[in-house]
Amino acid sequence: MMDFAKLRGRMVERQIAARGVRSAAVLAAMRKVPRELFLPDRLREHAYEDAPLPIGADQTISQPYMVALMTEALILQGGETVLEIGTGSGYAAAVLAELAGDVHTVERIQQLAEEAAVRLAELGYHNVHVHQADGTLGWPEHAPYDAIVVTAGGPDIPATLKRQLMVRGRLVIPFGADQQAQELVRVTRTSDDRFETEDITGVRFVPLIGKEGWLP
């Protein structure tokens, strides 16, 4: 039997903290959430490797470091309402749920949305709400959001998502004209009609498909 708790602790120390993630809350969430339970059974032994892994439907669960980096970039203090675009297996939503008050997460692919909703409920993440829809359009019913995170790379930053941020809210998203490489940025809404953008790092994500992303 693999000692997943030990592997998880080693992953946080060597892959995340060693690369500069400093938020104590983010590190604690990464130590707590069982990434192995968000993977197909055949891949669970690889859960704490430093890599993204396939979860079906041509989608992946992000590299643990990238989940931690993007979560830290949201600057969550606790109790916020967060929107995630790209639920996937639900792993990053679970990490967010350890820090935020409510997490609304949108998944384009129905099978993944249904499976993630069941998995998150079984693990007790009742503050995560899964919606199957075009993520590039956000989830307006619960807007505005304190923070929005997008786990796929689009050609540009969707204007609809920017409008769903509250003033002083943060949007973390990878985007770029090349589907094979993007820039991860943080967008802060400084007033009703003004936004500031900060570059974080170069990344490579699956394409953001939808009306304000790449066409299917």
Q: What is the pLDDT of residue 126?
A: 97
Would you say residue 214 lies in a domain?
A: no
User: What tens digit of pLDDT does each residue of 184-207 get?
Assistant: 999 999 999 999 999 999 999 999
pLDDT over 90 at 180, yes or no: no
- Report the CATH number at residue 182: 3.40.50.150
Would you say residue 118 lies in a domain?
A: yes
Give the list of residues 6+ apart from residue 1 with CB closer than 8 angstroms, or none: none
Confidence category of residue 179, pLDDT binned at 50, 70, 90: confident
Domain that holds residue 31: 4-203
pLDDT over 90 at 86, yes or no: yes
161 phi, psi to nearest 5 deg = -65, -40
Would you say residue 136 lies in a domain?
A: yes
- When pLDDT is averaged across residues 4-19 and rounded to a whole number, the result is 98
Would you say residue 193 lies in a domain?
A: yes
What percent of the chain stands above pLDDT 70?
100
Catalytic annotation present for 23: no
pLDDT over 90 at 1, yes or no: no
| Mean pLDDT for all residues in the chain | 97
Confidence category of residue 216, pLDDT binned at 50, 70, 90: confident
Would you say residue 209 lies in a domain?
A: no
- When pLDDT is averaged across residues 145-152 and rounded to a whole number, the result is 98
Closest CA to 63 of 74, 78, 75, 52: 52
Number of structural domains in the chain = 1
User: What tens digit of pLDDT does each residue of 93-105 get?
Assistant: 999 999 999 999 9
Would you say residue 211 lies in a domain?
A: no
Would you say residue 213 lies in a domain?
A: no
Report pTM.
0.97
Q: What is the pLDDT of residue 39?
A: 97
Q: Is the peptide bond before 158 cis (omega within 30 degrees of 0)?
A: no
- When pLDDT is averaged across residues 24-41 and rounded to a whole number, the result is 98
Q: What is the pLDDT of residue 172?
A: 98
User: CB burial class (10 A; 0-12, 13-18, 19+) of residue 71?
Assistant: buried
Pick the catalytic residue from 23, 62, 89, 191: 62
Would you say residue 148 lies in a domain?
A: yes
